[in-house]
Amino acid sequence: MTQFDNVSVTKQANVYFDGKCVSHSIVLEDGTKKSVGVILPSTLLFTTGAPEVMELLAGACRVRLAGSEEWTEYTGGQSFQVPGDSSFDIETTETLHYVCHFG
């Protein structure tokens, strides 16, 4: 899928980590929530409330889930899952375009 149809988009951007991560929240017609954004080259720690699936559209990164010592590399076209009430470290080596699927 290359686009979302019939969505509500929050006009105000979500800006995190001094602008290193910028996204917009969207709500699909069925109430499903997602965010669409970019992460600039950096190393960041994200926390989660709900479970997340990070769908990577373009770019490259490596990820370390909470409780793990191992980093896993990902590129555009791949995705990874993060449990709810958890965290993950992400190191982006080039600008990462993503969709975060919540729940």
Q: Give the domains, in start order, of the chain with CATH numbers.
A: 18-102 (2.60.120.10)
At 103, is the pLDDT very low, low, confident or very high (cuts 50, 70, 90)? confident
Give per-residue pLDDT as tens, 37-50.
Answer: 999 999 999 999 99
pLDDT (average), residues 62-76: 98
CA separation for the pair 95, 8 (Å, rounded): 25
Tally helices (H) and strands (E) across the chain: 0, 9
Q: In this predicted structure, what is the pLDDT of residue 11?
A: 96
The pTM of the full predicted model, rounded to 2 decimals, is: 0.94
Instruction: State what percent of residues in the chain have pLDDT above 90.
Output: 97
pLDDT reported for residue 22 = 98
